[in-house]
Amino acid sequence: MKVLIDEDGRLHIERAGIYRQQTCPFSFAIGMTTSCGDWCPHFGEPVFFSEEIIDNDTDSTLVPRVQLTLCHNTAFYIPKEDLVDFRGEKKMEAGEGENENQDR
């Protein structure tokens, strides 16, 4: 699964090769439709980390990953290269600027 956050903070998920904008599933309860995006307090900033994959009893590999947390602590764990973030000056592709975000 690939994830894109557009320049306005809206969440898009790739489905069948096409990025599709995601709608907030809770906005219907108040009689309106809004897209999922970074203006929502439930939308977490991407968190970059490395996951250790054990190949056999003696070898392991660190794989760069990203966690994106949304509503009700639903989290997506995807390869780092599958996230593209186009928000403002923080334009970030595949984790570029990772250290900048950690300093804030």
**What does the pLDDT profile of the chain (104 residues) look like in tens digits?**
899 999 999 999 999 999 999 999 888 777 788 899 999 999 999 999 998 888 777 788 898 999 999 988 889 999 999 999 999 655 455 455 444 444 43
> In whole angstroms, what is the distance from residue 27 CA to residue 40 CA?
11
> In whole angstroms, what is the distance from residue 40 CA to residue 36 CA?
7
Give the SS3 label for residue 35: strand
CA distances from 72 to 22, 28, 54, 91, 98 (A): 16, 16, 31, 26, 25
Burial of 24 (0-12, 13-18, 19+ CB in 10 A): buried
pTM score:
0.74
The number of folded domains in the chain is: 1
Domain of 68 in residue numbering reads as 3-103
Over the stretch 63-88, which tens digit does the pLDDT of each residue have? 899 999 998 888 999 999 999 999 96
Q: List all residues 6 or more positions away from 61 whose beta carbon is below 8 Å from its beta carbon.
A: 52, 53, 55
Element containing residue 48 per DSSP (H, E): strand 47-54
